[in-house]
């Protein structure tokens, strides 16, 4: 293993658990400005002492500004590190880090998605700040506050267009053989939102005078679910997830809304499902639209030389993998060809009560991230 990787991986691992505990101790669900500011303050405290701290407007109106930490050098290469500080867990359900149930796991809200990755990204930035002998012009760590619920265009792509590489610290993984894997291919992600406009009526005295929005949306949900074809040419998954309709026990629902989450190799495949939905059912008007629109990512070819170079520096294989979940890395992949995701620690239970990070994965995943960063800055693209 490259001695630089070994040295800084040890430094990162020594601090990682305490830093993860501190970040997870802040409950930071998307949209809570005060919570985001507290999480940002902790991230700044863990940043290199001489890093330039910038707060830049968040993509989503009303959210706290995103955090950008910058370290500069005298070289020519520019490296973007990427993460997010928001989680999906409400304050009432938030749990701090504990290992009481399993000493091999650090369990807590947002540990794997993705405050564990944020901790490793901060450690890599400190490593780059401590030793700028490589060909470093600038390393920047972008931590956003709206990744988990964003439905508007991502605001930061243009600023970093043309940078040499983007490393995103979503959860890591291993192959079945136990090798470290990183994500170089992701599906596109989109939500279909259907608004139903029926007519309310008394459900006992005059039920047939109503036009039931709930029943219409239930049929639309079945139509969307019927498009589910994960083994098909587009690898499409189509899952209705939220249905809201009705106001009272004795009233025919006059309006409602259905949301479905769809993933596919191309956004066009998701839009095609939306286009098949009827405009009306049983005199209930249906307005279908796209909610969020996240592009796909396929960086397999562009990242192959980097993975080979980083594997050589690491002294063990780094394997290319693919994943169905959405990530901000997909937004950058269109303008930063060498985009690699999944650099965070290994864990599981994202968005669930049992969310966790494997304690033993912190050191090896720090090594992987450092190997990739080092390869970028030493010309292994």
Whether the CB-CB separation of 335 and 157 falls below 8 Å is answered with yes
Q: How many domains does the chain divide into?
A: 2
- Give the tens place of pLDDT for each residue, 191-245: 999 999 999 999 999 999 999 999 999 999 999 999 999 999 999 999 999 999 9
| Planar angle of CA 343, 3, 347, nearest 5 degrees | 25
Same domain, 327 and 343: yes
Domain boundary among 261, 294, 327: 294
Pick from 67, 118, 110, 114: nearest CA to 91: 110
- CA pair distance 248, 170, nearest whole angstrom: 42
The range of the structural domain enclosing residue 285 comes to 192-294
The total of other beta-carbon atoms located within 10 Å of residue 178's CB is 7
Collapsed DSSP state (helix, strand, coil) of residue 8: helix
Same domain, 196 and 183: no
**Residue 21: φ, ψ to 5°:** -60, -40
Same domain, 302 and 290: no
The pair of structure tokens assigned to 336 is 């930063």
What pLDDT sits at residue 290?
Answer: 95
Same domain, 60 and 145: yes
Length of the chain as a residue count: 381
The pair of structure tokens assigned to 137 is 């012009």
Same domain, 178 and 281: no
> What pTM does this model have?
0.90
What pLDDT sits at residue 380?
Answer: 67
Same domain, 11 and 106: yes
Whether the CB-CB separation of 96 and 103 falls below 8 Å is answered with no
What pLDDT sits at residue 151?
Answer: 85
Task: Identify the helix (H) or strand (E) that includes residue 241.
Answer: strand 237-245
Same domain, 217 and 365: no
Tens-binned pLDDT, residue by residue, of the chain (381 aa): 899 999 999 999 999 999 999 999 999 999 999 999 999 999 999 999 999 999 999 999 999 999 999 999 999 999 999 999 999 999 999 999 999 989 999 999 999 999 999 999 999 999 999 987 679 999 999 999 999 988 899 999 999 999 999 999 999 999 999 999 999 999 999 999 999 999 999 999 999 999 999 999 999 999 999 999 999 999 999 999 999 999 999 999 999 999 999 999 999 999 999 999 999 999 999 999 999 899 999 999 999 999 999 999 999 999 999 998 789 999 999 999 999 999 999 999 998 999 999 999 999 999 999 999 999 998 867
Instruction: Return the CATH number at 210.
Output: 3.30.70.360
Same domain, 253 and 133: no
Strand-pair category, 77-84 with 136-144? parallel
Same domain, 210 and 277: yes
**Residue 101: φ, ψ to 5°:** -75, -35
Relative orientation angle of helices 3-24 and 33-46, to the nearest 10 degrees: 150
What pLDDT sits at residue 211?
Answer: 98
Collapsed DSSP state (helix, strand, coil) of residue 188: strand
What pLDDT sits at residue 292?
Answer: 87
Same domain, 304 and 365: yes
- Cα of 44 vs its chain's centroid, Å: 21
Computed on alpha carbons and rounded to an integer, the radius of gyration of the chain in Å comes to 23
Using the structure block, give the residue that is written with the tokens 């864990």.
Answer: 347
Collapsed DSSP state (helix, strand, coil) of residue 223: helix
Pick from 162, 163, 124: nearest CA to 141: 124
Same domain, 50 and 89: yes
The total of other beta-carbon atoms located within 10 Å of residue 18's CB is 12
Whether the CB-CB separation of 206 and 148 falls below 8 Å is answered with no
What pLDDT sits at residue 214?
Answer: 98
Instruction: Return the CATH number at 339.
Output: 3.40.630.10
Convert 349-375 into a string of H (helix), E (strand) and C (coil).
CCCCCCCEEEHHHHHHHHHHHHHHHHH
What pLDDT sits at residue 137?
Answer: 95
**Measured CA distances, 368 to 174, 307, 309, 311, 343 (Å):** 12, 10, 12, 8, 7
- Give the tens place of pLDDT for each residue, 47-61: 999 999 999 999 999
Which residues, 6 or more positions from 301, have their beta carbon under 8 angstroms from its beta carbon?
none
Same domain, 15 and 141: yes
Domain boundary among 294, 326, 348: 294
Domain boundary among 294, 326, 342: 294
């Amino acid at each position: 293993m490259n001695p630089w990787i070994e040295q800084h991986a040890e430094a990162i691992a020594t601090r990682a658990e305490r830093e993860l505990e501190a970040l997870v101790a802040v409950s930071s669900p998307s949209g809570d400005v005060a919570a985001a500011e507290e999480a940002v303050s902790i991230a700044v405290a863990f940043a290199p002492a001489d890093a330039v701290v910038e707060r830049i407007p968040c993509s989503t109106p009303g959210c706290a500004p995103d955090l950008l930490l910058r370290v500069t050098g005298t070289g020519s290469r520019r490296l973007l590190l990427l993460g997010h500080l928001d989680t999906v867990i409400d304050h009432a359900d938030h749990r701090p880090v504990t290992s009481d149930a399993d000493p091999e796991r650090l369990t807590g809200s947002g540990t794997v998605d993705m405050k564990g990755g944020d901790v490793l990204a901060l450690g890599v930035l400190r490593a780059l700040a401590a030793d700028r002998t490589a060909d470093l012009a600038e390393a920047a760590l972008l931590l956003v506050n709206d990744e988990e619920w964003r439905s508007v265009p991502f605001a930061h792509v243009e600023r970093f267009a043309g940078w040499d590489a983007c490393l995103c610290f979503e959860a890591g993984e291993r192959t079945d053989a136990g090798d470290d894997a990183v994500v170089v291919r992701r599906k596109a992600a989109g939500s279909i939102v259907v608004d139903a406009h029926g007519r309310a009526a008394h459900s006992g005295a005059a039920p047939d005078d109503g036009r039931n929005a709930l029943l219409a949306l239930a049929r639309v949900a079945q139509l969307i679910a019927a498009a589910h074809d994960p083994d098909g040419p587009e690898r499409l998954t189509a899952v209705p997830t939220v249905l809201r309709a009705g106001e009272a026990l004795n009233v025919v629902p006059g309006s409602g809304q259905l949301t479905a989450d769809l993933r596919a190799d191309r956004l066009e495949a998701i839009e095609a499902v939306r286009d098949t939905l009827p405009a009306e059912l049983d005199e209930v008007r249906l307005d279908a639209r796209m909610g969020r629109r996240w592009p796909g990512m396929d960086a397999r070819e562009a990242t192959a030389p980097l993975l080979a170079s980083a594997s050589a520096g690491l002294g063990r294989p780094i394997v290319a993998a693919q994943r169905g979940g959405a990530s901000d890395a997909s937004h950058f992949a269109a303008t930063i060809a060498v985009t690699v995701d999944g650099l965070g620690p290994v864990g599981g239970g994202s968005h669930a009560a049992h969310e966790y990070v494997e304690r033993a994965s912190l050191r090896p995943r720090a090594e992987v991230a450092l190997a990739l960063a080092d390869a970028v800055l030493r010309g292994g693209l």
